[in-house]
Amino acid sequence: MIRAVCPGSFDPVTNGHLDVIERTAGLFDEIIVAVLVNEKKQSLFTVEERMEMLAEVTAHCPNVRVSSFKGLLVDFCQQNDVRAIVKGLRAVTDFDYELQMAQMNRRLSGVDTMFMSASPEYSFIASSLVKEVARGGGDVAHLLPGPVFRRLSERLGPRGGS
Ligand code: PNS
């Protein structure tokens, strides 16, 4: 049984994240989508809300479960018998930092990182950009899973709260 982790902030989960999670679920026996608890970073949604949204939009994938972690990802991997970290790569700009983290994580724990190329139709999507556009009143309905779009609209209010 090979278990992989898809880690991230997921504030909130986008269609790009979901694409990577679904494709990863087709390659491994079990996937844990792990939300980083980062008390230093201000987020729009609480960790519990982000986990609820992830659980809702991955409910059709029987081998995916949602969790959260504090501290180092490698410790979470060791505690949960995770053999691979899977990260989506949108563009070459993602690569430098991701490679550095992958090499550090391997040195720390021996866990390997696999990179999944983003589907071209999602390669421009980032949670931060989606929130910025939504706050400005732009239409982000096509960038987010339906339930996530509805929660974002509720949270930001009419015209993104602007
Ligand atoms: O969605 P994000 O914010 O790009 O995800 C980044 C994340 C959570 C995957 C990364 O910051 C991480 O793994 N943080 C956990 C802390 C850690 O292990 N740091 C050392 C990295 S070598």
Active-site residue 127, yes or no? yes
How far away, in angstroms, is 158 Cα from ligand 1 center? 32
113 and 85 in contact (C-beta within 8 Å)?
A: yes
* CA pair distance 54, 142, nearest whole angstrom: 17
Residue 25 main-chain phi, psi, to 5 deg:
-65, -25
Residue 161 lies in a domain: no
Contacts of 107 (CB under 8 A, 6+ apart): none
Residue 138, in any domain of the structure: yes
> pLDDT (tens digit, 9 = 90+) per residue, 56-97?
999 999 999 999 999 999 999 999 999 999 999 999 999 999
Q: Given ligand 1 and candidates 10, 73, 79, which is best to mutate, with the most ligand atoms within 8 Å of its CB?
A: 73
Q: How far apart are CA 49 and CA 56, in angstroms?
A: 11
> Residue 28 is part of a domain; what is its CATH number?
3.40.50.620
Task: Establish if 162 belongs to a structural domain.
Answer: no
Q: What is the mean pLDDT of residues 118-139?
A: 97
Full domain range(s) for residue 98 = 3-156
Residues with CB under 6 A from ligand 1: 7-9, 36, 72-73, 101, 104-105
Q: How many Å separate Cα 33 from the centre of its chain?
A: 7
* 40 has catalytic annotation: no
**Count of Cβ atoms closer than 10 Å to residue 1 Cβ:** 7
pLDDT value of position 64: 98
| Number of compact structural domains in the chain | 1
Is the pLDDT assigned to residue 162 strictly greater than 60? no
- Is residue 159 over pLDDT 70? no
Question: 36: helix, coil or strand?
Answer: strand
CA of 37 from ligand 1 middle (Å) equals 10
**Residue 102 maps to a domain:** yes
Confirm whether 34 is domain-assigned.
Answer: yes
Centre of ligand 1 to C-alpha 74, Å, is: 10
The verdict on pTM exceeding 0.75 is yes
Sheet holding 112-117, edge to edge: 64-69, 30-36, 3-8, 84-89, 112-117
Q: What is the mean pLDDT of residues 3-18?
A: 98
